[in-house]
Amino acid sequence: MTRLIGLSGSLRRGSFNSALLQTASGLMPDGSELAVGSIRGIPLYDGDLETAEGIPDQVSALKDAISAADGLLLVTPEYNNSIPGVFKNAVDWLSRPPADIKRVFGGKPVAVIGASQGGFGTILSQNAWLPVLHTLGAILWSEKRLLVSRAQTVFGQDGNLTDQKVEEQLRSFLEGFVAFVRSSPRA
């Protein structure tokens, strides 16, 4: 069984990115599964807080879940042409202490997708993740991209994906990423 964990970079109820992640969890190829993790409740990174109290329990649990997974799927919104602050903050916590970076991210197959109400999807946010993932030693799967633009037209009010073309693109993306994860030396 190939086990992935996915994180949405949005905290908003009704988030298109959280809906995209939920949809992905139901479209996984045979012999694979996608657990949905959460960044909700992770405090703003503060070195003084880390020194005084250590790593928050929620962060430690998420680090363990990522470390145990065969691959990581980041589902990123795009805020001001870049990575959402809450998502980057969560990854900053996940990389603490620096000695844990290799355990959590080193050689970990990672893919990035996203949904946006705009016409360009989340291309700039996805690109902004590249140096972060490189610095963490993750292995980015870049064979395909999934940029869901005009997300308000492809998701229903209930958060369900209603666009067959986007569903097929997502299914194909997941099949490719799972194949990549399975061929990874870390798998």
User: Which numeric CATH code is attached to 2-183?
Assistant: 3.40.50.360
Cα-Cα end-to-end distance for the chain: 10
Q: Are 67 and 57 a contacting pair, CB within 8 Å?
A: no
Interatomic CA distance for residues 123 and 135, integer angstroms: 20
pLDDT at 187: 57
Provide the whole-model pTM.
0.97
Q: Are 6 and 37 a contacting pair, CB within 8 Å?
A: yes
The CA–CA distances, whole Å, from 58 to 55, 99, 163 equal 8, 18, 35
Q: Which residues contact 7 (CB under 8 A, 6 or more apart)?
A: 21, 37, 38, 39, 72, 73, 74, 75, 87, 90
- Backbone φ and ψ for 4, nearest 5 degrees, come out as -110, 160
| Per-residue tens of pLDDT for the chain, all 187 residues | 999 999 999 999 999 999 999 999 999 999 999 999 999 999 999 999 999 999 999 999 999 999 999 999 999 999 999 999 999 999 999 999 999 999 999 999 999 999 999 998 999 999 999 999 999 999 999 999 999 999 999 999 999 999 999 999 999 999 999 999 999 986 5
- Backbone φ and ψ for 33, nearest 5 degrees, come out as -145, 155
Interatomic CA distance for residues 85 and 44, integer angstroms: 10
Which SS3 state, helix, strand or coil, does residue 131 take?
helix
Interatomic CA distance for residues 149 and 121, integer angstroms: 4
pLDDT at 185: 82
Which SS3 state, helix, strand or coil, does residue 1 take?
coil
